[in-house]
Amino acid sequence: MARIEGVLLPNEKRVEIGLTYLFGIGLHRSREILEQTKVSPDVRIKNLSQDQVAAISKCITQNYKVEGELRKEVTINIKRLQEIGSYRGTRHKRSLPVRGQRTKTNARTRKGPRKAGNIVANKKMVSKK
């Protein structure tokens, strides 16, 4: 098993896909890294040599922010937005959608489960006589 930036990459995946398990590396960036290190994207991770793994990890640490460093930067940016009182910062504080999505319906992932107080329970219909 290859270990890059503290993340175990799955053995059976192609290198191109396996690198996307690192936070901050998508498919496009993965292909860039493999092109720079001259490693075939079709090779399985279990078939990589130690030299190839070392070259890939060296390329990643020198050229890209990934994992803990990137997560730290993202949280600092969010805290900065909250401290200056920007609209985006207040949306982050209230854990509401930040980028202009509607919230009257949907947004349940961000808002969490429905609150019980908003539902009128057992409302009885008055029958006319």
Domain range list for the chain: 3-63, 71-118
CA distance 33 to 25: 10
Does domain 3-63 fall under CATH 1.10.8.50? My reply is yes
Strand ranges (E), the chain: 3-4, 7-8
The per-residue pLDDT for range 18-67, each reduced to its tens digit, is 999 999 999 999 999 999 999 999 999 999 999 999 999 999 999 999 99
Q: Is the dihedral of CA 114, 117, 119, 122 positive or negative?
A: positive
The per-residue pLDDT for range 76-116, each reduced to its tens digit, is 999 999 999 999 999 999 999 999 999 988 989 988 888 87
List, in sequence order, every residue forming a beta bridge with 7; answer none if it has no partner: 4
CB 23 within 8 A of CB 70: yes
Same fold for the domain at 3-63 and the one at 71-118? no
Query: Looking at domain 71-118, which of 3.90.550.10, 3.90.1200.10, 3.30.70.270, 4.10.910.10 is its CATH number?
Result: 4.10.910.10
